[in-house]
Amino acid sequence: MMSTQLQSYLTNAQTRQLDELIAWLRIPSISTISAHQPDVLAAAQWLVENMRQSGLENVELIETEGHPLVYGDWLHAGTDKPTVLVYGHYDVQPVDPLALWHTPPFEPTVRAGQGYRQEGDDLYARGSSDDKGQTFIHVKAVEALLQTTGALPVNIKFLIEGEEEAGSQAIGLYVPAHVEQLAADLCLISDTGMLAPDQPVITYGLRGNWTAEITVTGPSQDLHSGVYGGATHNPNQALCELLAALHDKDGHVTVPGFYDQVPELSDAERALLANVPYDEAKLLADNGAPAAYGEPAYTVVERIGARPTLEINGMWGGFITEGFKTVIPSQAHAKLSCRLVPNQDPAEIGQLVEAYLQQLAPPTIKVEVQGRPGSPAYTASLASPAIQWAAAAYQAVFGVAPIYKREGGSIPIVNKFQAALDIPIVLMGFGLPDDNLHAPNEKFYLPNFYKGIETSITFLQACGAQTKTD
Ligand code: BES
Ligand code: MN
Ligand code: MN
């Protein structure tokens, strides 16, 4: 339980901590747009400064081939206390379509909660939920503990990256090369969601991913569609034909071999996932689509968490601005991403998709597939005591036990933490299903920001109550 001293510290600190988060959110740290590179750097520097002020030590900005990492620690709890590694990301997704934002993405705005939330404000800004707001929870938990007690119940290390939304390449190289610096007993991550304000979730699985850009080339330059149409395969049309062949009418991916390594769900896991109070009606209420889609033999929760997918993230080609132009474009483009489940190897899936696209390609066009290194899926063992401390912390602060769920999103670095550092990972999220991640009007439900800080403190205290035996 938190002391009254801590509680009154947090009450007094609320407005300032929110103001700090707002200042951080003003920096447009979009990692995948090169023009924003200075902003990504500025967001890292801002975090360095804030972590120092919050009482963390050895805080440094670590240059990489890509965007910088931010490291900081506090290691005075004693060698008999566990060390917690906190991970998060300070980069954010692009903001387009900008016109659909009710307030500008980098002018954070607090508005009263709507929808199924009875009370409480939302903070609207790109990165508010994913993941600056959730990362900041742990920085402010450390601040509160150090300011009130002068110490932390555990040793702690922060490693915060700036290219999670770009595939986590730099941190992926850094972690295996710095296992001593990062040595810890468990890893704590808040970059996932809850089901509702009163239903916390411990995520025990994440999907992996593989992404690629596809280019279809027909004629060597754009052509008059009257002069050449009918005798030249239009690349836009050819691209549609190719992409349309990647799924059957039930939503199965048709790429040969795509499901070969996919394990069938056990009855026990299907029963666990059946406890998740989420169904087609809730899905449609959250996403606004006219009807659900996907493999009929699987529930919505299974489709999202435990089945692989292939998505078309973007497609373009030809004349798309105002006016009209009767043209056969030279090229058409698409961006694809696959979500992968355990046992699927991203590189192998990439080869299968590429081979199938080449096999489908008619002789009238050329197809080029530029794949990027992906990341495999992740599953946690629910048996680790750290998961139990997280469950107890949620229970103490939210008054409800968490449910256990597999998530459809990816956090590419988690496997490397597990493999290189050999530690359990706790995915303790505070986002909500209607936070509009990656979409216009991203927001963070502010009561979850404040409760998140309390949950983090409670979790760290539970960790600290353990004495290490090794
Ligand atoms: N925080 C998300 C992942 C996530 C979202 C987990 C929802 C659970 C629920 C993360 O920032 C993210 O968006 N990751 C990307 C990774 C990709 C760019 C390699 C993703 O999943 O698309
Ligand atoms: Mn995230
Ligand atoms: Mn994200």
pLDDT tens-digit profile of 236-276?
999 999 999 999 999 999 999 999 999 999 999 899 899 99
Q: What are phi and psi of 205, to 5 degrees?
A: -150, 145
The rounded Å distance from CA 409 to ligand 2 centre is: 9
Cα atoms in the 13 Å half-sphere on the side-chain side of 162 = 31
Taking the centre of ligand 3 as the mean of its atom positions, its distance from the CA of residue 410, in whole angstroms, is 8
Tokens 């009929």 correspond to what residue?
296
**β-strands 403-407, 201-206 pairing:** parallel
What secondary structure, in 3-state letters, does the chain show? CCCHHHHHHHHHHHHHHHHHHHHHHCCCCECCCHHHHHHHHHHHHHHHHHHHHCCCEEEEEECCCCCCEEEEEECCCCCCCCEEEEEEECCECCCCCHHHCCCCCCCCEEEECCCCCCCCEEEECCCCCCCHHHHHHHHHHHHHHHHHHCCCCCEEEEEEECCHHHCCHHHHHHHHHCHHHHCCCEEEECCCECCECCECEEEEEECEEEEEEEEEECCCCCEEHHHHCCCCCCHHHHHHHHHHCCECCCCCECCCCCCCCCCCCCHHHHHHHHCCCCCHHHHHHHHCCCCCCCCCCCCHHHHHHHCCEEEEEEEEECCCCCCCCCEECCEEEEEEEEEECCCCCHHHHHHHHHHHHHHHCCCCCEEEEEEEEEECCEECCCCCHHHHHHHHHHHHHHCCCCEEEEECCCCCCHHHHHHHHCCCEEEECCECCCCCCCCCCCEEEHHHHHHHHHHHHHHHHHHHCCCCCC
Q: Computed from CA positions of residues 456, 462, 463, 465, in that sequence, does the dihedral angle turn out positive or negative?
A: positive
Q: Assign 469 a pLDDT band (cuts: 50, 70, 90).
A: low
409 lines ligand 1 (CB under 6 A): yes
**In CATH, what number does 208-262+308-375 get?**
3.30.70.360
Give which of 370, 420, 422, 427 is closest to 173, Cα–Cα: 420
CATH number of 4-206+377-464: 3.40.630.10
In the reported structure, the alpha carbon of residue 86 is separated from the centroid of ligand 2 by a whole-number distance in angstroms of: 14
**Is the predicted pLDDT of residue 116 greater than 50, yes or no?**
no
**Which atom of ligand 1 lies at the shortest distance from residue 339's CA?**
21
Percent of the chain with pLDDT over 90: 93
Residue from 411, 432, 436 whose mutation best tests the ligand 1 pocket (most atoms within 8 A of CB): 411
407 lines ligand 1 (CB under 6 A): yes
Of 16-20, 303-307, 436-440, the least confident: 303-307
Tell me the per-residue pLDDT of 121-178, one tens digit each, with 9 for 90 and over: 999 999 999 999 999 999 999 999 999 999 999 999 999 999 999 999 999 999 999 9
Ligand closest to Cα of 131 equals 2
Task: Count Cβ neighbours within 10 Å for each residue of 118-155 and write b for 16 or more, e otherwise.
Answer: eeebbbbbbbbbbbbbbbbbbbbbbbbbeebeeebbbb
Answer yes or no: is the C-beta of 165 below 6 A from any ligand 1 atom: yes
* Ligand 1 atom closest to residue 166's alpha carbon, by position in its atom list: 18
> Tens digits of per-residue pLDDT, 327-336?
999 999 999 9
Residue nearest to atom 6 of ligand 1 (CA): 409
95 neighbors 82 (Cβ within 8 angstroms):
no
Return the ligand number nearest the Cα of 408.
Answer: 1
φ and ψ at residue 186, rounded to 5 degrees: -160, 160
Report the alpha-carbon distance of residue 135 to residue 172 in Å, rounded. Answer: 19
- How far is ligand 1, taken at its centre, from the CA of residue 409, in Å? 4
Q: Is the CB of 130 under 6 A from ligand 1?
A: yes
Ligand 2: centre distance to CA 129 (Å): 8
Please give the number of the atom of ligand 1 that sits closest to the Cα of 203.
8
- Which of 165, 201, 435 to probe ligand 1 with, by most ligand atoms within 8 A of CB? 165
Quote the Cα angle for 415-427-417, to 5°.
25
Whole-number Å distance, alpha carbon 6 to ligand 2 midpoint, is 29
Q: Domain locations in the chain?
A: 4-206+377-464, 208-262+308-375
Whether pLDDT at 350 is above 80: yes
Angle in degrees, 0-180, between the axes of helices 446-464 and 385-398, rounded to the nearest 10: 130
Average pLDDT over residues 104-115: 87
pTM of the predicted model as reported, rounded to 2 decimal places: 0.92
